[in-house]
Amino acid sequence: MTELEKDAAVPARDRLAFGPLDIVFDDSVLVPRPWTIAQSTWARELLESAPAGGVLELCSGAGHIGLASVHATDRRLVQVDRDPHACDLARENAAAAGVAAEIRCGSLSEVLRDDDRFALVIADPPWVPSAGVEVFPDDPVWAIDGGDDGLDVARECVRVAARHLAPDGVVLLQVGSPEQFAQLDDTLRECGLAAIEVRSLAGGALAALRPQ
Ligand SMILES: C[S@@+](CC[C@H](N)C(=O)[O-])C[C@H]1O[C@@H](n2cnc3c(N)ncnc32)[C@H](O)[C@@H]1O
């Protein structure tokens, strides 16, 4: 490998402010999207009336959404992503934020223990349909490709969240739009969850779910 090739292989690092946090990322992960701070803000509101217990973040990437959700609270945070490099960045960001997050690297259906229960589950799965990923040429395909209808990982997130939700807990799921969220009706019914509110965001949509 030439020196030039070695340089090209090192992901370019950058940082940005995300709410109160200073977040590092690089070009091997999805760049933190500023509008997703709305997921952290809503999560913090939900935590005010959530039962005791920790927060689980599924598809955490560099970790910023979950970190901003629990920062300066006493809620425990467990973050899950299958990309080892994203997990390294999440560890670095958690240390810088002063949050003792536990980062579990692996597929979301494999890294949770049977008895894990959480007061709040945040999920930010890939939600772009495979045929549309070229609309986002700057984003790593594996971070945004959600399969044929964009919802393969979102369905998995709903199932995992339902299995690991504490009684009276709440799920806060990000998808592409309220219309796309409506396609999850069957999965929600199968899991005994129902939407209490759906909000449109600048670049996607959020749905808060509770056990029926
Ligand atoms: C849309 S990105 C969101 C990342 C981060 N929350 C953000 O805002 O930048 C989706 C993330 O899900 C992860 N992912 C995709 N499928 C997964 C799976 N089955 N289990 C765990 N993580 C997964 C990807 O590695 C990627 O980091």
Which residues, judged by CB distance below 6 Å to any ligand atom, belong to the binding site of ligand 1?
A: 30, 32, 36, 59-62, 65, 80-83, 86, 107-108, 124-126, 143-144, 153
Over residues 90-119, mean pLDDT:
97
Count of other CB atoms within 10 angstroms of residue 101: 22
pLDDT at 8 over 60: no
For ligand 1, the distance from its centroid to the CA atom of residue 4, given in whole angstroms, is: 30
- Per-residue pLDDT tens digits for 111-154: 999 999 999 999 999 999 999 999 999 999 999 999 999 999 99
Question: Nearest residue CA, atom 4 of ligand 1?
Answer: 61
Ligand 1 pocket test, pick from 18, 56, 81, 124 with the greatest ligand atom count within 8 Å of Cβ, gives: 81
pLDDT at 11: 81
List domains and CATH numbers for the chain.
Answer: 3-211 (3.40.50.150)
**pLDDT for 9:** 64
For 54, 82, 208, the CA distances from 21, given in Å and listed in that order, are: 20, 23, 24
Q: What is the pLDDT of residue 10?
A: 74
Residue ID of nearest Cα to ligand 1 atom 12: 59
Per-residue model confidence as pLDDT tens digits over 183-208: 999 999 999 999 999 999 999 999 99
Q: What is the pTM of this model?
A: 0.95
pLDDT range class, residue 1, cuts 50, 70, 90: very low
Is residue 6 pLDDT above 70, yes or no? no
Is residue 2 predicted with pLDDT exceeding 90? no
Between the alpha carbon of residue 124 and those of residues 3, 9, 135, 143, the distances in Å are 37, 27, 19, 10
Atom 5 (ligand 1) nearest CA: 61
Q: Which atom of ligand 1 is nearest to the CA of 126?
A: 1
Write down the H helix ranges in 52-184: 64-70, 84-97, 141-144, 152-163, 178-182
